[in-house]
Amino acid sequence: MPQAAMNAKPLAGLRVLDLSRLLPGPACTLYLADLGADVIKIEDEAQGDYARSLQPALFKAINRNKRGMCLDLRQTDGRETFLRLVERADVVVESFRPGVMDRLGVGYEILRERNPALVYCALTGYGQSGPYRNRAGHDVNYRALSGQLEQSGPAGGAPDLSNFQVADIAGGALTAALGILAAVLRARETGEGALVDAAMLDGTLALQWVALASLAQSGATRPRGTDVLSGGLPNYSVYACRDGHYLAVGALEAKFWGMFCDAIGQPGWKSRPLTGAGSEATRADLADLLRTRTRDEWMALLGDTDACVSPVLTLEEALADEHVVSRGMVCQVDGLPQFACPIKLSGYRFEVERAAPEPGEHSAEILAEFGLKN
């Protein structure tokens, strides 16, 4: 295979103007940038992206492989420069509340006049329509309103937060990226762009397939921590070990449960109830047994058994795990650990070609490229 084809960037030639801030929007455009799109991060000249000061390491991680420039869209010159950039762009991403871009004079209808094939993604908490459209919000609010937060946590306990931002990333960034790419494909076929209305509440709501199935089948969702994949089954749960670490047991199918029972020296447990009456006794006995050894002692016993049992690792342990390392999922940028792009395509090798930009770092370069004066 020719060398050029060995590392052909899948999104090479796609130009993205990114006005978003904080986490969801920049995470969305990070996926595009890591796959070869030319993402130009545009920041306000006065304040810029708040993530620079709130969490500098986060800012650096989700804005790598992007170029940066500063524009003041409240000023005539800045607005006109942006409109000129739009004429040669494929995608615009913004995360302001509905109406802000219109008030600045750069809303979707104005931009599509300049570039009918433009894909314009508005990534917001509640979307461009509906009674909540102008509300402020964060990940916890979208999770709460979607019903997802109510389903998170142990049985009998309060809803709990996670250090994974479900709404921001899964409900927002990834949903927006998928919508953008679908609209780009259509635009290349038809010459007609689109407004991608990506709402984090919508995206988070639509992730809850198992809870919705319980509702559809029985007329109500299961109480928190008791559904089939949220802790309701003794063979699909998390257990404490003697050293305070945990094991994740995912022996959901009968064949895996059988392997697990054999491996822990309890072949008679294969026939014990896993649902309904008696299942809690199974859970209690399993919990008592797993507390007799440390996590690593159990993994030494179970590690080669194909029974869907894993150690619950810290992030530090996960980053050093031999499989994670072998998959190339950890990279160093300016001395800081970052996740590599998780999308692996034949013929393309992910690379960090540039660190996150300083404010306005590439302004002159970009203006010259577009034939505009600095």
CATH value at residue 249: 3.30.1540.10
Q: What is the pLDDT of residues 293-342, one digit of tens each?
A: 999 999 999 989 999 999 999 999 999 999 999 999 999 999 999 999 99
Whether 222 maps to a domain, the answer reads no
The per-residue pLDDT for range 23-42, each reduced to its tens digit, is 999 999 999 999 999 999 99
Residues 165 and 88 in one domain: yes
Residue 315 lies in a domain: yes
Domain shared by 182 and 78, yes or no: yes
pLDDT tens, 101-134? Answer: 999 999 999 999 999 999 999 999 999 999 999 9
Same domain, 271 and 142: no
> Based on the domain organization, do 79 and 186 belong to the same domain?
yes
213, part of any domain: no
Q: State the pLDDT at residue 5.
A: 58
The reported pLDDT for the residue numbered 373 is 79
Do 115 and 253 lie in one domain? The reply is no
Give pTM, 2 decimals: 0.95
Please provide residue 84's backbone torsions phi and psi, each rounded to the nearest 5 degrees.
-70, -40
Average pLDDT, the chain: 96
Measured CA to CA, the distance from residue 175 to residue 155 in angstroms comes to 30
In the chain the first and final C-alpha atoms are separated, in Å, by 42
**Residue 111 sits in the same domain as residue 187:** yes
Residues noted as catalytic: 138, 168
Whether 328 is in a domain gets the answer no
Residues 307 and 160 both lie in one domain: no
CATH code where residue 138 lies:
3.40.50.10540
The answer as to whether 338 is a domain residue is no
Structural domain contains residue 119: yes
Contacts of 109 by beta carbon, 8 Å cutoff, 6+ apart: 102
64 and 135, same structural domain?
A: yes
Place of tokens 């109480």: 223
**Residue 119 per-residue DSSP state:** E
Per the structure block, which two tokens stand in for 132? 């909540």
* pLDDT tens-digit readout, 171-182: 999 999 999 999
Domain that holds residue 63: 3-207+343-369
Q: Residues 262, 304: one domain? A: yes
* pLDDT tier for residue 1 given thresholds of 50, 70 and 90: very low
**Number of structural domains in the chain:** 2
